[in-house]
Chains A and B, each alone.
Chain A
Amino acid sequence: MSETADNSLVQFHNVSYSIPTRDRTVILSDLNLAVERGETLVLLGESGCGKTTTLKLVNRLLTPTSGQVLVEGKSTTAWDPIALRRRIGYVIQEGGLFPHFTIERNVGLLPALLAWDEARVSERVRELLKLVGLPPDRFAERYPHELSGGQRQRAGVARALGADPPLLLLDEPFGALDPLTRASLQREFADLAARLGKTAILVTHDVREALLLGRRIGLMHKGQLVLLETPEKFLTSDHPQARAYLDTLDVGGGQ
Chain B
Amino acid sequence: MRTTLRALFLILGATLALWTSGCTQNPPTTGGPSGATSGSPGTTTQTSAATGDIKIGCYFSMTGGTATFGESSMNGIRLAIDEINAKGGVLGRKLSYQLEDTQGAQDKAALAVQKLINQANVDVIIGEVASSSSIAGGNIAQNSGVPMLSPSSTNEKVTKVGNFIFRACFIDPFQGFVMARFAKDNLKAKTAAILTDKQSDYAIGLAKAFRGTFEQDGGKIVGEEFYIQNDTDFKGQLTRLKQLNPDVIFVPGYYTEAGLVAQQARELGFKGPLLGGDGWDSPKLTEVGGEALNDSYFSVHVDVESSVPKVQEFVKAYQAKYSANPDTLAVLGYDSVYLMADALTRAGSTDKAKVRDALASTRGFQGVSGTITMNADRDPVKEAVVVAIKDGKAVFVTSIKPAGGDIGTGGDTAPATTAPSPAPTGAASPGADAASPAASPAADASPAASPAADASPAASPADASPAASPAATEAPAASPGTP
Q: A and B: partners? A: no
